Amino acid sequence: MLLMHLETLKTFCDLIETGSFSKAAALNFITQSAVSQQVQSLERRYDQKLIERGRRQGVAPTEAGRLLYLECKEMLDRFHALENRLRSRSEVMTGTIRVATVYSVGLHELPPYIKQFIKEYPQVKVHIEYSRTDKVIEACLNNTIDFGIIALPLRQPNLAIIPFRHDKLVIVCNPDHPLAHRRRVSVKKLEGEDFIAFERDIPTRKTIDRILKQNRVSVNYVMEFDNIETIKRSVEVGIGISILPETALENEISSRVLVALNFTEGIFTRPIGIIHRKGKVFTPAIREFINLLISSKP
């Protein structure tokens, strides 16, 4: 009886996460009608509507449904973690790890770690999503991912932070720029330069703005983007210069389409952190992956 109720709660959580009766049905190998019946049984049990019906764009929870989802999702995670822990005593490590990260980290820093982890644990599936910082935080708090990796994580009541690494920031320009022949450049040399920036609400942008402000430097912001790849392409074609994490420039520097310059004032960095919802119960696979991230250098 308990197992049947857990399966019903899992179906409900899948419905809320996917926003689709068909997807929830597919995930649980049942029909859409069965999903609907399970939701109705939960609504009768708690005498409350749990989902908003008649919507054109997917399924959305009511306030009661959202509360049930958040609490049940955590309980289901604990149950599955217990199962995995018991199985891990006699079986190879399996399962799925759901990670959301910002583009600059996910595309340029995670691949060696993922490659090493999959090599050691081939039965574990690692699912990576790329998103903006605010969306990664939201996914963590909503418990739709196992953990996130973002730049400059800020303390929040329901968010735990595990330090990951520090990214060195450098000045970047194309090879034809007047600064390109130098190895080191003072922040003050950026005065009046056309500048390609992250959008204002992105944490790395705030760090860069702070560096410029502390050195009383004003640049000419000509373009703002929400991802590092578009910034790099804009710098590459000569629209302006930028300040970016060095780890994200390796390919462009090696192919000589971009030039990275150090600051004469010293090294500026941005901290990268692993974030997760407080109280989140990790499976053995998730714990091993996080341990790999914070303890090794692929």
pLDDT in tens, 87-124: 655 556 778 899 999 988 988 889 999 999 999 889 89
Domain topology for 1-91: Arc Repressor Mutant, subunit A (1.10.10)
List alpha helices for the chain, DSSP H.
2-18, 21-28, 32-46, 63-88, 103-108, 111-120, 133-141, 203-214, 228-236, 250-254, 284-295
Which pLDDT does position 129 carry in this prediction?
A: 92
Six-digit token string for 296: 């090794």
User: Is residue 282 within 8 Å of residue 145, measured between CB atoms?
Assistant: no
In the chain, where are the structural domains located?
1-91, 166-270
- State the maximum Cα–Cα separation within the chain, in Å, rounded to a whole number: 73
pTM, 2 dp: 0.68
Residue-wise pLDDT tens digits, 150-208: 999 988 888 888 988 899 999 999 999 999 999 899 999 999 999 999 999 898 999 99
Which amino acid would we find at residue 110?
L
Q: How many CA atoms lie within 13 A of 266 on its CB side?
A: 4
How much helix, strand and coil, in percent to the nearest 5, is found in the chain? 45, 25, 30
Say how far apart CA 215 and CA 206 lie, in whole Å: 14
Identical fold, 1-91 and 166-270: no
For residue 223, which of 202, 245, 242 has the smallest C-alpha distance? 242
Which pLDDT does position 63 carry in this prediction?
A: 92
CATH number of 166-270: 3.40.190.10
Three-class secondary structure of residue 3 per DSSP: helix
